[in-house]
Structure 1
Amino acid sequence: MAGKLTLIVEMVTVLGVAVSGGYLVSRLRQPVLLGYLLGGIVVGPAGLKLVTLEGDIQVLSEVGVALLLFALGVEFSLKDLLRLRVIALGGGSLQIILTILLAGGLAYLTGWVQTVPKAIFLGAVLSLSSTAVVLKSLIERNEVQTVHGQVMLAILIVQDLGLGLMLAVLPALTQPTNIIGIALFTALLKVLLFLLGAILTGRWVIPFLIRLLAQSGSQELFLLGILVLCLGIALFTYAIGLGIAMGAFVAGLMISNVEYADHALDRVLPMRDVFATLFFVSIGILIDPGFLLANGWVLIGLIAVTMLGKAAIVALIVRGFGYSLKTALTVGIGINQIGEFSFVLAGVAQTKGLFSSRLYGLTVGTTAITLLLAPFMLKATPYLLQWLEQLSVLSPFLQLNSSPRLVGFEQELANHVVVVGYGRVGQTLVRMLYFQGHKILVIDNNEAALQTLRERRIPYLFGDASSTLVLEKANLTQAKAMAIALPDPMATRLTLKRALSLAPDLDITVRAHVNEEIDSLYQLGAQEVVQPEFEASLEMGAHMLLKLGDSTYAVQQVVNRYRRGRYRDILPERSEYWGAADLEVAIEGLQNHWYVLHSDSPLVGLTLAQTNARRLTGATVMAVERNKQLYRYPTGEFTLASGDRLLVVGNSQEHVAFTKLLKGEA
């Protein structure tokens, strides 16, 4: 009886450790994938020896791979790929090729692998990055719509697309040397014939079948039909030598253009998550911590070479395609990890005999550790860039603050309105100001977006708005006002802080991206902070109140009250809403330091407004700690007392000036 229940026991064990490991790492704000890998280590041969991969768990993990790639195919966005086709197709393809050449070439020349096919396969494994981890980090940091976020996603889409081709072609490298050319030609021919058949089937047959299933009205039949389609095509490609993963990915692409694609994906996702979990735990089962420790120095070297080499390749490519060096470095560091689908490629290499047990173990260990480091690298990138900007020796060489390009102004800049960011919000704002006859200067670093300005003969400044050099070129001391409508929260804070350092009296209106930014942007000196979601709700409410018979004056008073209160009356309860995390986000990317207010300081007993700290030093007090109680974003009426700890943000010179102010020397 026990033998009959072996599969159930192993599934419960695997899923149980996956839940436990995933929960623990999620509480530590890490990707749940890491928890699955750790769970596999615990129950595998290197741990409690509760599960092996000899049998049904291995088969079920293959189903997980198929469903992972099927969902990837359904989610594939041709629209996103075409929108950034230059950097996506050109840069993404070049990144894969150069990574294979660099990683494979180093491995071959150093003797780490003995044959060219092994070197190519290893380079292919290292060339892929993690779409899931990068996308999750960008969403958490509200950076999906930023320039670097869009470039990252464009390159990742091409990597995902390239995975299908790799799975089909690379196994041909296992053939003997004298027939490897024929094998590659045969594999490519199979791929082309299969894709041709898939296009025809996807155009004429698949939509018809999907509609029949949908018209049945049965959700069970619809789900079963989708699974049969996915796994059936996967088995077909396996039978013709192209592998299960290739067929599953193409099956997803075939469905992606059908009107029921979103519904199909919604039904499949829960099953995908369950079976994909089995796959990732199965990878953990294969990891031997003792082996990794015994090869610790080799592993560290692999991680360093992989992450640094990949970051350098990506940064050079992005820079070569005309993006700023700041964007290039951010993208390079952001996608320098090895992706979860590299496990699939490594598994194929081991199955085909290209990877030895040692090479496979080191590859899996390197992949797991780089996935773990990825969120930390993304978070640390702004601080690294800030540090590089401060190095007078490196800054000119790196051109992080390269000379901005001013276009369209023949006379000296004066009495103008500066609009930072020419996205959807910026374009609407520029249009309003333009037709009201105001003199405008637009700052943006997206060359394509500025074509409209050239046609309208609206002056613009091409460069990074958070750069001090760019802001100096905008002549802010002579400007009437400034509006910041950038998609990047950190760039917004830096631009606001540096603009006020140059022109303390400048009236600046800022777009907030999330609720947590509202108070911090006011604290940094913005005259007005606009939160688009709240503004939409206020306009909808005003429209409804007018329709319900309220007077125009009364409705305007209600809307103005909410705006004057900085939206606080429509925010969630502060006790649940504000936490330490929001303050950390607010000062991210800004140089910050805690100062103790001693009893002999001339600031003791003064309100923040009376200290005039921002005008005198350029620095901003973001928080005050008193008697173990933290006061976030104190207002100008807040009175300072002896023993207070002040959290202050500013550049190096501003911190020096603030220190003198504390001592009464300024």
Structure 2
Amino acid sequence: MLHLPVLITDLGLILAAAGITTLLFKKIKQPLVLGYILAGLLVGPHINFIPTVTDNESIHIWAEIGVIFLLFSLGLEFSFKKLVKVGGSASITAVVEVFFMLLIGFVAGKAMGWTTMDSIFLGGILSVSSTTIIIRAFEELGVKHKKFAGLVFGVLIVEDLVAILLLVLLSTLAVSQQFAGTEMFLSILKLCFFLILWFIGGIFLVPTFLKATKKLMNDETMLIVSIALCLIMVMLAVKVGFSPALGAFIMGSILAETTQAEKIEHLTKSVKDLFAAIFFVSVGMMIDPGILLDYAVPILVITLATILGKFMSSGLGALVSGQPLKTSVQTGMSLAQIGEFSFIIATLGVTLKVTSDFLYPIAVAVSAITTFTTPYLIKASEPFYLFLERIMPKKWLDALNRYSSSTAGITTMSDWRVLLRAYTFNTIIHLVILVAIIFIGSRYLQPFITENIINGNNGTMISLILTFILTAPFLWALALRRIERKAHSHLWLNKKYTRGPLVALEVLRIALAIFAVGFLIFQFYNTLVALGIAFGLIVLGMYFFSRKLQQFYDRLENRFLHNLNAREELQKQPEILPWDTHLTELSISPDSPLVGKSLIELAVREKYGVNIAMIERGHRMIPTPGRDERLYPNDKVMLIGTDDQLAAITELFKGVTDENQETSFPKKDMTLQKVVITSSSPVYNQSIRESGIREKTQGLVVGIERNGVRILNPDSNLVFENEDIVWIVGNTKKIPDLLKKT
């Protein structure tokens, strides 16, 4: 008799329970995450009236894979470029919120008599809002076009990075079981080092690899390569002492900068959905209903602390960053929940065995409650703002408005600030690269050469020379590269005050380069003359090879910048918009009345006061489109307007199906047909526009074959000629009457 492995039986049970509960939650229009958690509760060890999972260890392995793909997916949506673009408002709001929620969680835990470690992890759990829940709520309520939504999305991007930092810090804290400031600082320094190194290396190598293999890639190979890159980065992260989730997130964020990001996200979505479902089911399996009943009061207290704390801290952060009161209130009430990252932080505590058994189910219960309350809070945010506006003293409102206006006008930086920022980035980036190359040379290159090629001192010398050659372009960039020439020349002309500090900066750069070379030599020869050799090498190298080093470095930099900006080379959006106007992106539904119409026909500026800044059609970007540009299904349109103006036009993009609307033919009658034009056809010698094909047949000419030449998506002014082969999508019954012989 055949024996079915327990793992397959358990997996079938998990997916069956998840399928039933998610169908139910889809029917009642509730988040699917809650359905997965309920499924885990049903098949877990605490409920026995249905079959339960028996091999929990294997399920935890599947769940860890789920975390990897969940973080990989979040990384694909994250993108470091987005982090740079979110601006100061979102960054300040996120930092203020996270700081206060860490404090609120810790104080609440200690007030309830919990251990220090439970209280710290509670603060981490409460500090990160749920991207999935907020996006779903915004879509259902139709508020994605509003100004506060852009700020909320920016805050979520910053929170994702903060959550990754929290995972590293909490892991360090859990392992050391002490609050050593030095150890925490070293952990942060180590994280920053590898983030910079992986990002630079990834952006330089991964897009180049994908571009070189583009012709060989189909959907299958792209999926395999993407998952392979994710798991390779996971192995690297674990190798240097970080969690697998961090590696997955970093590779996702690197791939998010490539031109293949959307395709990779689409291909990996099914894999992510499968394993993420197993992860969330495993979350439910760890919930003991008895604990929920015993800790009903703490759950209520923490839920209130989450809603009120996030509203106050996020709203305060938005106000401090210069946002108006209305936007601050709406932002605070939108972020008042916890979600997927909170589960991952709670899982970390359980895995490391440093938190109590009750903390995990409490976190899940609070997440479930705040998931239900989020849509109602978002909906109530504007009425609550109006209530505050009525009861607040007028002088307070005037002061807030003045503060908001004054901070919005701060857009310029002094030359010193520009120069110092550029020098700081240049120094940090190149020191990270140099340290990485030096350690690779001393830890891997030298042993390989001395063991397999040349033994003894000669092998060590060759290793040193090769490593120095690899570091040379970056040493030149660190010591001699000209940075922000315009700001530097402005400051240099002010002889009395600025030449001394500028010279000191240049001396410091050269000193750092000499130190780097000395550090390199110390890795191979631990002698006191290393510093002298370093000085000689750097002077000789920079003098004789400065021009060649500059040319080689420029090629490296250009390749890096090209890879980094490939997705957005045509997307140049203004940084600041006047008053209450802002940018938003809307997709055109296939049912939208806008489909097929030109911008001059739509007259959206005249009717709604909205301007169209850009159209994204697949990989093609159309900035400031002309009046004759037409809109097509699934086009992404970048609009500029106020909340009210954008709200008025949003319904047009969605498209509304009216049951009473007359339809000229059923969907099954719409087909792709081939018709041969003759001299007796009614449309012979007419242009596509003059023929009236669109109006009379609901048809669209998609291609013409003329004299063996195929014309795809022909221009509407093209004239039909004898023996043209026309490919047209339209009404099967009406097209023959219009195009065939009379």
TM-score (norm 1): 0.59
Match of 1:54 in 2: 56
Q: Distance in 2 between matches of 1:123 and 1:356?
A: 14
Asked if 1 retains the 8 angstrom alpha-carbon contact of 2:346 and 2:359, the reply is: no
Residue pair 2:44, 2:52 contacting (<8 A) in 1 also = yes
Counterpart for residue 269 of structure 1 = 269
Change beyond 3 A, Cα 1:274–1:308: same
**Could you tell me the percent identity over the aligned residues?**
27
1:331 equivalenced with 2:331 (yes/no): yes
> CA offsets, 1:32-87, max 9 Å, x none?
11111111111112223512562222111111111111111122144543443111
**Who is 1:307 aligned against?**
307
Deviation at 1:381, TM superposition (A): 2.9
Query: Which residue number in structure 2 is paired with residue 513 of structure 1?
Result: 650
CA shift in 2, pair 1:53/1:189, >3 Å: farther
Counting only pairs closer than 5 Å after superposition, residues 279-294 of structure 1 correspond to structure 2 as: 279-294=279-294
Aligned-partner SS, 1:220: helix
Q: Any unmatched runs of 5+ in structure 2?
A: 406-577, 585-599, 601-605, 611-639, 657-685, 697-742
Which residue matches 1:70?
72
Q: What pairs with 1:333-352 in structure 2 (closer than 5 Å)?
A: 333-352=333-352
Aligned-partner Cα distance in 2 for 1:422–1:368 = 35
Q: Are the structure 2 counterparts of residues 292 and 118 from structure 1 closer, same or farther at C-alpha, using a change threshold of 3 Å?
A: closer
**1:114 — aligned with what?**
115
Match for 2:651: what amino acid?
Answer: V
Q: 1:212 offset after TM fit, Å?
A: 5.1
Deviation for aligned residue 1:151: 1.1
Letter of the 2:14 partner, please give it. Answer: V
Distance change >3 Å, CA 351–CA 422, structure 1 → 2: closer
Check 1:385–1:181 CA distance in 2 against 1; reply closer, same or farther (3 A cut).
Answer: closer
Aligned equivalents of 1:219, 1:138: Cα separation in 2: 31
Matches within 5 A, 1:433-448: none
Gaps of 5+ in 1: 408-418, 426-431, 433-437, 444-484, 494-510, 520-544, 556-666
C-alpha distance in 1 between matches for 2:63 and 2:34: 17
CA offset at residue 147 of structure 1?
1.3
- Secondary structure, aligned partner of 1:61: helix
Give me the whole-angstrom Cα distance separating, in 1, the residues matched to 2:99 and 2:402. 33
Q: 1:420, 1:486 within 8 Å by CA — same for their partners in 2?
A: no
Contact 1:213 1:225 (8 Å CA) reproduced:
no
Counterpart of 2:643 in structure 1 is 488
Q: 1:548 aligns with which of 686, 689, 709?
A: 689
Counterpart of 2:164 in structure 1 is: 164
Q: 1:40 to 1:147 in 2, by over 3 A?
A: same
* Aligned counterparts of 2:141 and 2:204: Cα–Cα separation in 1: 42
Query: What's the offset of the Cα at 1:237?
Result: 1.6
Contact 2:324 2:401 in 1 (8 A): no
Check 1:286–1:512 CA distance in 2 against 1; reply closer, same or farther (3 A cut).
same
Q: What SS does the aligned partner of 2:188 have? A: helix
Residue 380 of structure 1 corresponds to: 380
Change (3 A) 1:248 1:383: same
Contact 1:325 1:400 survives alignment (8 Å)? no
Mapped contact 1:395–1:401 kept (Cα < 8 A): no
8 Å contact kept, 1:287–1:365: no
Aligned length: 440
Give 1:10 shift. 1.5
In structure 2, distance between residues paired with 1:147 and 1:202? 33
> How far 1:246 moved relative to its partner?
0.6
1:142 match: 142
Moved more, 298-307 or 358-367: 358-367
Q: How does 1:390-429 map to 2 (within 5 A)?
A: 393=391, 399=397, 422-423=581-582
| Alpha-carbon separation, structure 1, partners of 2:321 and 2:182 | 36
| CA shift digits 1:378-429 (9 cap, x unpaired) | 233344445556xx54575984998899x9xxxxxxxxxxx9964579xxxx
> Which residue number in structure 2 is paired with residue 198 of structure 1?
198
Q: Does the Cα contact within 8 Å between 2:37 and 2:281 map onto a contact in 1? A: yes
Structure 1 residues 172 and 325, CA, compared in 2 at 3 Å: closer, same or farther? same
Query: What's the counterpart of residue 318 of structure 1?
Result: 318
SS class of match (2:358): helix
Single out whichever of 279-288 and 81-90 deviates more from structure 2: 81-90
Which secondary structure state, in structure 2, belongs to the residue aligned with residue 55 of structure 1?
Answer: helix
What amino acid sits opposite 1:305 in the alignment? Answer: A
Distance 1:306 1:31, change over 3 A: same
The AA in structure 2 aligned to 1:233 is: M
1:348-406 CA-partner distances (Å, limit 9, x unpaired)? 012222211012221222122222322232233344445556xx54575984998899x
Give the deviation of 1:547 after TM superposition.
6.8
> Cα 1:396–1:92, aligned 2, differ >3 Å: closer, same or farther?
same
Q: Secondary structure at the match of 1:513?
A: helix
SS of 2:338 mapped into structure 1: coil
Give the structure 1 partner of residue 481 of structure 2: none
**Closer/same/farther in 2, CA of residues 178 and 514 from structure 1, 3 Å limit:** closer
Q: Which residue of 2 aligns with 1:91?
A: 93
TM-score (structure 2 length as normaliser): 0.54
C-alpha distance 118-183 of structure 1, shift in aligned 2 (>3 A): farther
